[in-house]
């Protein structure tokens, strides 16, 4: 198994289920996304460019999905948080029931559409 997959399956519930669900949605929505293990978290890349990461922060009660080119995103901003960061934005999920697949897919499509943009706006 790859390190990114190990990271996911070794999480405790409910975080494992959340991460596995998000992984499935990402891979279905963006079939050419490649799952790698960068900066000690699962990170999705397309054409060697980072798109997003899925991560369960230590001692936190949520899963964080961070979007790399967040400065260029235009859809559903109200669902995302900066969580003290200047450039990155993310979605936070505490349970699988909180995941709105339509919102997540729409954001993923927006992320994919701006993948060629620079990190800074």
Q: In the sheet where 63-67 sits, what is the strand order?
A: 34-38, 41-46, 49-55, 63-67, 89-93
Confidence at residue 44, expressed as pLDDT on a 0 to 100 scale: 97
Please say whether the beta carbons of 4 and 38 come within 8 A.
no
**Inside any domain, residue 65:** yes
Please say whether the beta carbons of 117 and 72 come within 8 A.
yes
- The CATH number assigned to the domain holding 59 equals 3.90.1150.200
**Inside any domain, residue 84:** yes
**Inside any domain, residue 67:** yes
**Based on the structure, what is the number of domains in the chain?**
1
Digit-coded pLDDT (tens) for 71-112: 767 766 666 667 666 667 889 999 999 999 999 999 899 899
Confidence at residue 84, expressed as pLDDT on a 0 to 100 scale: 66
**Inside any domain, residue 120:** no
Q: What is the pTM of this model?
A: 0.88
Helices assigned H by DSSP within 1-121: 3-9, 15-29, 101-113
Q: Which structural domain range is residue 37 located in?
A: 3-113
**Inside any domain, residue 121:** no
Which residues does 112 contact at the CB level (< 8 Å), separation at least 6? 29, 30, 46, 51
């Amino acid at each position: 198994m790859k390190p990114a997959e190990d990271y996911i399956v070794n999480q405790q519930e409910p975080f494992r289920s959340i991460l596995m669900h998000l992984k499935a949605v990402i891979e279905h929505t963006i079939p050419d996304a490649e799952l790698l293990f960068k900066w000690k978290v699962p990170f999705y890349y397309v054409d060697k460019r980072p798109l997003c990461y899925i991560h369960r922060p230590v001692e936190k009660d949520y899963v964080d999905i961070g979007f790399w080119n967040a400065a260029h995103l235009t859809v559903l901003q109200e669902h995302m948080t900066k969580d003290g960061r200047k450039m990155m934005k993310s979605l936070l999920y505490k349970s699988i029931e909180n995941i709105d697949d339509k919102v997540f897919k729409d954001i993923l499509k927006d992320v994919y559409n701006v993948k060629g943009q620079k990190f800074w706006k």
